[in-house]
A and B are shown apart, each in its own frame.
Chain A
Amino acid sequence: NAGVTQTPKFRVLKTGQSMTLLCAQDMNHEYMYWYRQDPGMGLRLIHYSVGEGTTAKGEVPDGYNVSRLKKQNFLLGLESAAPSQTSVYFCASSERQGSIYGYTFGSGTRLTVV
């Protein structure tokens, strides 16, 4: 049972390039989330999904797009990467809203935009 798997683990982009981060979960969770983690800022929610085919904005959505075409996958896209998007990105999933077990996190994608 892999839990939440993120790919890639590391990536370096040039300013203006685009890329997609993939998150896959095998726990049949309804809810999935994308966070970014920056030093001293904790975890900030970018976008989330409450089920297949749905997405919603979180706290810091600008510059990112997401898609949830399949229940087990949640994709995060950067349309035109900027140095301010250098960060560690975490995907998470939960059974439902208000899950008593909290969220299960992936191990992160470290993105550097130069």
Chain B
Amino acid sequence: GQQLNQSPQSMFIQEGEDVSMNCTSSSIFNTWLWYKQEPGEGPVLLIALYKAGELTSNGRLTAQFGITRKDSFLNISASIPSDVGIYFCAGLNYGGSQGNLIFGKGTKLSVKP
């Protein structure tokens, strides 16, 4: 089945640093989504991308839908302690028996004040 490779698995950074993480796939996706999961909670949608090449921002977060439609990137600028959590990418294909999200294994972010 389809798989997403998300990297890095974990990051330990200093408050104020910028963060980059990415997701790659051998398959093409129509939509890329980025979720954040805080401890003890379910994932919450951060950014959704619908078009190849699209660059979308949500506050200090910026995500891009790769031109090949096989990858996506998430950047967090000027990190703060509340950015701590697990960030998941997810790819979505429409139609047929697909239409379910395929999730990456997550990037665990730790921010040192």
A108 in contact with B41 (CB, 8 Å) = yes
User: CB of B101 within 8 A of chain A?
Assistant: yes
Tally B residues with Cβ within 8 Å of A. Answer: 28
User: CB of B12 within 8 A of chain A?
Assistant: no
Chain A interface helix/strand/loop/mixed: loop
Residues of chain B contacted by A90 (CB below 8 angstroms): 42-43
A100 in contact with B48 (CB, 8 Å) = yes
B94 in contact with A97 (CB, 8 Å) = yes
A40 in contact with B42 (CB, 8 Å) = no
Contact status of A102 and B90, CB under 8 A, knowing A33-B100, A42-B103, A107-B40 = yes
Instruction: Kindly supply a per-residue 1/0 record for chain B positions 1-44, scoring 1 wherever the CB is within 8 Å of any chain A CB and 0 otherwise.
Output: 10000100100000000000000000000110101000011111
User: CB of B99 within 8 A of chain A?
Assistant: yes
Residue of A nearest to B33 (CB): A102
Which B residues lie at the A interface, using CB under 8 A?
Answer: 1, 6, 9, 30-31, 33, 35, 40-45, 48, 50, 88, 90, 92-95, 99-101, 103-106
